[in-house]
Structure 1
Amino acid sequence: MKKKFWLVSLLFSVLLLVGCGRSTADQSVLKNAEASKTITWGVKGDVKLFGLIDVRDGQQKGFDVDMAKLITKKILGPKGKAIFVTTTSQSRIPLLKNGNVDAVIATMSITPERKKTIDFSHSYFDAGQSLLVPANSKIKSTRDLNGKTVIGVVGANSVQNIKAKAPKAKVIELQDYAQAMNALKSHQGDALTTDNGILYGLAVENPGYEVRGGTFTKEPYGVAVNKGQKSFTRAVDKAVLEIQHDGEYNQLIRKWFGDVPGFNYKELYRR
């Protein structure tokens, strides 16, 4: 009887803890952010225009970084502070799942596969996959890639997309965009593929390279939040929509993309 009572008590305690865990998990990130007046963001450090570490002061700068700052102020008020952790395409989800960051805003496409493990805000940037090639390349579109070597980045869904578009192309995956660009420059591949916004940033940094192929996929970027943080996800989503409709969004679009050759930044305007 004592053994049965002990087992019943243990089972009740476990169920109580699970129930409490579910309750606090939903509130923890938002409550912690409100208490500390800070939100910790995962952002890129090697993607010009979106998230690039400025060697002069060591600070991350870009469209994603500025969006994170605005979202933080919308949620926490004028005294809210955004803290940044540098992430890569490969480390974004692990950092989020492990609690190292509260949210990720790092050129991350909203996909059904990713939504199985994390949640996303409303899309804040509508990108599309393209190709970056030397200006003298004969490659014009994905139709020209079969038999060629295409460079991608580990953890980016662009690699799988290109395999579907050009099944006879050889695809190599590198750890980040700096390595990928160096590989393209050293002729280890014929083209580099990822979202057009990222490629335009690389083209700005590297004269003699052009973005081609149009946009052959739709890659809406979203702010990623861990599962179980519904109140925080709602707060982020509300902030994104407010930024897009109060004029601040268009100001950021002009700031980061207004002078990029060949990039039609006005297509991104939100009214």
Structure 2
Amino acid sequence: MTRANNAGWFRRLSRAALALVSALLVTAVAACGPSASLPSDQKAGSAPSTGSGSTGDVRSMDEIKRSGRLRVAVFSDKAPFGYVDKDGTYQGYDVYFANRLAKDLGVKAEFTPVDPAARVDVLASNKVDVTMANFTVTEERAAKVDFAKPYMKVFLGVVSPESAPITDVSQLKGKTLIIAKGTTAEPFFEKEHPEVKLLKYDQYADAYSALSDHRGDAMSTDNTEVLAWAKANKGFTVGITKLGDEATIAPAVRRGNKPLLDYINQEVDKLGKEGFFHKDYEETLRPVYGDAANPDDIVIEGGQG
């Protein structure tokens, strides 16, 4: 074969090889297409999106009963409402209620720790059946989850060092306020007091560590929480005990999960008749607050303030 024939044969072979590779690439891309087009909040291999940011179907009441567990999102670092004790057991006001909800359903509560900003997401992704992480009811959240009847009421509070107490919001101008992301303190200060510099943390434990280390001038979250923390940490005081409007705290289920929502609402009514939430207060909150707080300022029985 001549050198010219060799060159022509090589060019024809190259074109054939390129065509084969291109065909293989097209086939591969087509095969991968559905996974590549998944929404950014859904990983490959997970259930298809329902179109509302949700992943998969909620578990039916029968499925929950058959599984023997009610999956509940709670805080692991927000004493005395949701925390893990020295023995690794979940404790707190929210946990006490969650255990009773599960017991009356004939199952056990299985707890999943959650950061404040992820309380909606764990429901949307079907990782839990109900969120009971000191979840304050707001219009924005109610557009994403279904809240049951409330079992607690709350304001915002501000805790600061005793050596430089913050007793009025005006004192925060030009200072640094520590908050946890995803809490009601975040939108409140961003909207009502944009002059206040916010230092944000994902977890409560990190936020309180920052306050203890004086990385900020004060911290704001639920008044019930800051009162408890200041009582347990010398050198700090709650100079503002009621900030903003009174709000309520309630369990939340994924949007549209009416069977579980109905069950929780029925439980809230039933437990209210037996004074359950005041008993919950006595078991979990009075050891922290002592006589410094009035149970009726915190507890909601039977969904009624």
Q: TM class by shorter-chain length?
A: 0.7 to 0.9
Q: 2:165–2:237: 8 Å Cα contact kept in structure 1?
A: no
- Structure showing greater radius of gyration is 2
Give the match for residue 166 of structure 2: 139
Q: Is 2:272 the partner of 1:244?
A: yes
Taking the aligned partners of 2:145 and 2:151, their CA distance within structure 1 comes to 17
Q: 2:75–2:113: 8 Å Cα contact kept in structure 1?
A: yes
Alignment of structure 1 residues 76-155 onto 2, 5 Å: 76-77=105-106, 80-155=107-182
Give the match for residue 255 of structure 2: 227
Match of 2:70 among 35, 39, 43: 39
Normalising by structure 2, we get a TM-score of: 0.75
Q: Is 2:69 the partner of 1:60?
A: no
Amino acid of the structure 2 residue aligned with 1:253: Y
Q: 1:50–1:64: 8 Å Cα contact kept in structure 2?
A: yes
Instruction: In structure 2, list runs of 5 or more residues that go unmatched.
Output: 1-49, 51-55
Give the Å deviation of 1:157.
2.1
Give the Å deviation of 1:25.
5.2
Give the Å deviation of 1:225.
0.1
1:88-121: per-residue Cα shift (whole Å, max 9, x none)?
Answer: 1022211111111110100111111111111001
2:241 match: secondary structure? coil
Distance 1:138 1:228, change over 3 A: closer
Q: 1:118–1:224: 8 Å Cα contact kept in structure 2?
A: yes
Taking the aligned partners of 2:209 and 2:103, their CA distance within structure 1 comes to 37
More relative contact order, 1 or 2 (CA 8 Å, 6+ apart): 1
Taking the aligned partners of 2:127 and 2:94, their CA distance within structure 1 comes to 18
1:85 match: secondary structure? strand
Give the match for residue 256 of structure 1: 284
Q: 1:50–1:107: 8 Å Cα contact kept in structure 2?
A: yes
Distance 1:151 1:251, change over 3 A: same
Taking the aligned partners of 2:257 and 2:276, their CA distance within structure 1 comes to 26
Give the Å deviation of 1:170.
0.5
Taking the aligned partners of 2:225 and 2:131, their CA distance within structure 1 comes to 17
1:90 match: secondary structure? helix
Distance 1:270 1:96, change over 3 A: closer
Taking the aligned partners of 2:60 and 2:233, their CA distance within structure 1 comes to 40
Match of 2:197 among 165, 170, 174: 170
Give the number of equivalent residue pairs. Answer: 244
Give the Å deviation of 1:66.
0.4
Q: 2:152–2:299: 8 Å Cα contact kept in structure 1?
A: no
Q: 1:29–1:102: 8 Å Cα contact kept in structure 2?
A: no
Give the Å deviation of 1:36.
2.2
Q: Is 2:82 the partner of 1:51?
A: yes
Percent sequence identity over aligned pairs: 25
Amino acid of the structure 2 residue aligned with 1:180: A
Instruction: In structure 1, list runs of 5 or more residues that go unmatched.
Output: 1-17, 19-23
Give the match for residue 219 of structure 2: 192
Q: Is 2:99 the partner of 1:69?
A: yes
Normalising by structure 1, we get a TM-score of: 0.84
Give the match for residue 230 of structure 2: 203
